[in-house]
Amino acid sequence: MADNANDSGLAENAYEVQVELSDMVDTDNPLAAANDFKALNLSEGIYQGLLAMNFKKPSKVQEKALPLLLADPPRNLIAQSQSGTGKTAAFVIAVLSRVDYSKPQQPQALILAPTRELARQIQGVVQSIGQFIPELIVEAAVPGAIDRAVGVKGSVVVGTPGTVMESIKRRQFDTRELRILVIDEADNMLDMAGLGDQANKVKNMLPRNIQILLFSATFPEKVGQYARKFAPNAHSMMLQRDNLTVKGISQMFMDCPNDNEKYDILVKLYSLMTIGSSVIFVSTRNSASIIEQRMVGDGHQVSALHGAFDPADRDRLLEDFRAGRSKVLITTNVMARGIDVSSVSMVINYDIPMKGPGESEPDPETYLHRIGRTGRFGRVGVSISFVSDKRSFNALAAIANEYNIDLVQLTPDDWDRTERKIQEVIKSTRAEPGYVPEEVKDQPQDEAEGAEKTVATE
């Protein structure tokens, strides 16, 4: 595998991609690794867009996926790569390469994402990379965005499945010339317990021979099988299970004596949260709002964002957070996936992510996506998961076990040490290649420090 030592800031040893060519004898699609974007023979407009964004070299997923994506005839692809490694640009470059710009209002590419925030963010990336393509029109198909009198009139459409489905049914979205379908967060989007039904219905309304690209940081086994049916005969790029975490994220857990004290501990962390920006994940909309009100009442500047807000408020709240006007966002799983705000240096799992009937099982995928809101593209960050009883402790231990990760323990009774440990990470700005924060690397330090323990990973 090509050594990807680069100056793009992405930790070079971040992961090994296991690439399977679905057709072993396909010599027309060699895995020619492109060491810089120039080698990919992109159109001049796209190349200029990447330069303007200061993307100097492709990340590994871009380097590996793009030669496959740009090959003719088009072939389906299922690609897995960790959070913050540039999956969006990989599929956006593919999309922009496939569009016929002589038909600027004719939908030709459809990108689906699970939330309006993510769809809007992807729309922004398409516009940025495509900024030197004057004929490019990008439309968002998210609640409240489509002008019903006009319909969907752009060559690239980015949307959420419900709104896309409705606009097709209302004949406001002409799908006949769509040639490429991208599903971001594909494991989530194809999950039959969630959006899978809608995604499937959308696919059934599209041309049969459309090129299908599925991207995610996680592909749990049972969704993986379904994905291969959804995108038949696909090339696939999959990660090894214990390579799923990003090295720049220092994963910690806070041992809270009981549920009631979680709030006080959260408040004590406030000054650390505002060194950069922070996202606090809770399990319900209601508790997001309650915690927000309490913290504001206690004099802290925080905001809540969740699905009960109306679309305009959601857009405004995220915009404030992106711009740094608000620095602490309390939210639910609605923000767990895809959201890219590079200033986020801390993620707090106030509640451990759970799934299944009655939230009875730990949710390792959601854990990975949540902590992946920090440590974007080689940056460093801290995640702190709160445990307060046997149930939450066991759930976190199961998640740690799943990915073979060691979590650093923090305790509220030794606050000086807790602060020091967090500051060590977030005050260093970037992950060096192979960067591991000193104190984390040297564990176990039980004897030396007294309190350093990890969640059992056996």
Which residues make up the interface to Mg ion (CB under 5 A)?
Answer: 87, 338
SS3 131: coil
d(CA 227, CA 252): 33
340 binds ligand ADP (CB under 6 A): yes
CB of 261 to ligand ADP, least distance (A): 34
| Bridge pairing between strands 277-281 and 328-331 | parallel
Residue 303's binding partner among Mg ion, ligand ADP, none (Cβ under 5 to 8 angstroms by kind) is: none
47 binds ligand ADP (CB under 6 A): no
Residue 123's binding partner among ligand ADP, Mg ion, none (Cβ under 5 to 8 angstroms by kind) is: none
49 binds ligand ADP (CB under 6 A): no
Q: Which stretch binds ligand ADP (CB under 6 A): 54-62, 398-406, 416-424, 433-441?
A: 54-62
Element (H, E) at 217: none
CA 102 to chain centroid, in Å, comes to 33
CB of 59 to ligand ADP, least distance (A): 5
85 binds ligand ADP (CB under 6 A): yes
Nearer to ligand ADP, 19 or 308 (CB): 19
Contact string (CB under 6 A) for ligand ADP, positions 410-449, x = contact: ----------------------------------------
Closest of 388, 134, 453 to residue 257, by C-alpha: 388
Identity at 417, one-letter amino acid code: R
Q: Output the CA angle 92-216-2, nearest 5 degrees.
A: 75
266 binds ligand ADP (CB under 6 A): no
> 407 and 275 in contact (C-beta within 8 Å)?
no
d(CA 216, CA 223): 11
CB-closest chain residue to Mg ion: 338
Nearer to ligand ADP, 292 or 340 (CB): 340
Q: Output the CA angle 58-62-65, nearest 5 degrees.
A: 145
> Which region, left, alpha or beta, applies to residue 337 given φ > 0 means left and ψ of -120 to 50 means alpha?
beta
d(CA 95, CA 363): 32
83 binds ligand ADP (CB under 6 A): yes
Residue 377's binding partner among ligand ADP, Mg ion, none (Cβ under 5 to 8 angstroms by kind) is: ligand ADP
Q: How many residues does the structure list for the chain?
A: 458
58 binds ligand ADP (CB under 6 A): yes
Residue 29's binding partner among Mg ion, ligand ADP, none (Cβ under 5 to 8 angstroms by kind) is: none
Nearer to Mg ion, 108 or 188 (CB): 188
Element (H, E) at 166: helix 161-169
d(CA 206, CA 201): 9
89 binds ligand ADP (CB under 6 A): yes
Residue 342's binding partner among ligand ADP, Mg ion, none (Cβ under 5 to 8 angstroms by kind) is: ligand ADP
Closest of 7, 9, 6 to residue 342, by C-alpha: 9
Contact string (CB under 6 A) for ligand ADP, positions 347-376, x = contact: -----------------------------x
d(CA 148, CA 166): 11
Interface positions with ligand ADP (CB under 6 A): 8, 55, 57-59, 62, 81, 83-89, 340, 342, 376-377
